[in-house]
Amino acid sequence: MDTLASLRDEVLAAVGAAGSLADLDEVRVGALGKKGRLTGLMKELGGLDPEARRMRGQALNVVKDEVAAAIEARKTDLEDAALDARLAQEGIDVTLPPRPDGVGTIHPISQTMDEVIAIFAQMGFAVAEGPEIEDDFHNFTALNIPPEHPARQMHDTFYLPPHADGTRHLLRTHTSPVQIRTMQEQAPPIRIVAPGRTYRCDSDMTHTPMFHQIEGLVIDRSTHFGHLKGCLIEFVETFFEVSEVPVRFRPSFFPFTEPSAEVDIGCSRKGGELTIGAGDGWLEILGCGMVHPNVLIACGLDPAVYQGFAFGMGIERIAMLKYGIPDLRTFFDADLRWLKHYGFVPLDLPTVTGGLSR
C-alpha cells in the first residue's frame, strides 16, 4: 500500500513536471479521478475503526486539498504561458510598412473637411461644434434674419413638431448657430471654424436635403475686411494647390454680415474641362462679410468695441470643384465603386506642409 506521504510527494512532483494542459489533466485524473490513487485510498476508509477512519480521513483531505491547489496553480501558469506564446505568434510588427489597401478608403467629404480644417488650423483657427437640432433664436433671430425671411418657411426648413407653447425646434439650416453659441460662451478674441452637417428641403444635381458646411468666425477689436480677403485668398490657393488663383469679391447681401460679399475664383473651361486658375471664367465658391452689429448685440458683445468677419462654404461644392465630381447626389449613394475611384488612402493625412490631397 502506498504511504500517504510518498504519494503526496509523487503527485506534486508530477504536477510540477507537467508541460502542457493535457499532461496536467492526466496527472489530475490519475490522482483525483474516479479510479485515481487518492480516490482509492478514500474508498478504503470504510474498513477502518471509527478513530482510525477519522485520523486517516483528515490526513487524506489535507493531501487532496494540497494536490488540487497545486493542480489549479499549475493550470494557471500553463494557460498564461500558452497565451503569451499565442500573442507572440500572432503579434503585428507595427514598424512594418502599412498596407493601405486593406484598411478601407476615406470618403471625399471627410477628406475635404480635413483639408479645410488643416489649412485654417495653420492660420490659428480652432474647431468648434454645436447641436444639429436648433431653436429659432440661434438659427435665425440671433443672425439678424427677420421673421418674414423666406429661409424660415416650411419649404426651406425641416421643422420638428411644435411644443406645448407653440415653439418649434428645427434641423439647423447652416452651421452659423455654432458662431452664435461661441460668441455667447467665449470672450473675444475668437477665431474658430465650425464644420458639420446641415439640412434644407432641396434635392437636385447640386443640392441635397442633408449636406456639409464649414464656416469661419473671427472677432476682436481691430479685424477689418482686408484681413478677411487675405485669409480667404490664402485658403483658396492652398486648398486648390494652385499658385496665384484669381480671386474676386462681389458685393452681395446676407442678413448676418455687412458689408457682404460672394467670393469667385478664376477658372478655364477650354475643351470642355474645368481647370482652376487663370482663365476667362469665374466660379462662386463661398460667401463672407463683416459680422453685422445686430449679431454682435444679440450675442452680448458691444459693436462699438468689437468687430469681426465670417465666411461659409459647402464642403460638397468645393470637393466637386477640386476633384472633378459631377453630381452631388453620388456623395450619398453608398456605391463602393465610386468610393474606390474618388476615395483617399486613410493613412495619408492632409497637412499644409506635407500635402493636402496626396
pLDDT at res. 201 = 82
pLDDT tens-digit series, residues 267-299? 888 877 888 888 888 999 999 999 999 999 999
Q: Is the pLDDT of residue 320 over 60?
A: yes
Higher pLDDT residue, 153 or 48?
48
Q: What number is the average pLDDT over the span 179-200?
A: 95
Q: Is the pLDDT of residue 102 over 70?
A: no
Domain that holds residue 202: 107-342
Q: Which residue has the cell 459631377?
A: 326
CA distances from 308 to 24, 27, 130, 255, 290 (A): 77, 81, 20, 15, 6
In this structure, the answer to whether residues 176 and 306 fall within a common structural domain is yes
CB under 8 Å, gap of 24 or more: what pairs does 82-88 form?
Answer: 82/21
pLDDT at res. 270 = 84
35 occurs within a structural domain = yes
Q: What number is the average pLDDT over the span 46-67?
A: 83
CATH number of the domain encompassing residue 179: 3.30.930.10
Q: Is the pLDDT of residue 343 over 70?
A: yes
CA dist 86 and 273 (Å) reads: 56
In this structure, the answer to whether residues 139 and 55 fall within a common structural domain is no
Q: Which residue has the cell 406645448?
A: 164
pLDDT tens-digit series, residues 117-169? 999 999 999 999 999 999 999 999 999 998 887 767 766 888 899 888 888 89
| pTM, two decimal places | 0.68
Inter-residue contact 345 to 100 (CB < 8 Å): yes
Query: Do β-strands 210-220 and 275-276 pair in parallel, antiparallel, or remain unpaired?
Result: unpaired
Expressed in angstroms, the distance from the first to the final Cα of the chain is 82
Q: What number is the average pLDDT over the span 186-200?
A: 95
Domain boundary among 65, 90, 115: 90
Lowest average pLDDT, out of 26-35, 82-91, 92-101, goes to: 92-101
Look up residue 329 and give its three cell numbers: 447626389
CA dist 88 and 270 (Å) reads: 60
pLDDT at res. 293 = 96
354 occurs within a structural domain = no
Q: SS3 for 310?
A: strand
Domain boundary among 63, 90, 117: 90
Q: Which residues of 152-184 are buried (b: 16+ CB within 10 A; e: fewer)?
A: beeeebbeeeeeeeeeebbbbbbbbbbbbbbbe
Higher pLDDT residue, 226 or 59?
226
Number of domains in the chain: 2
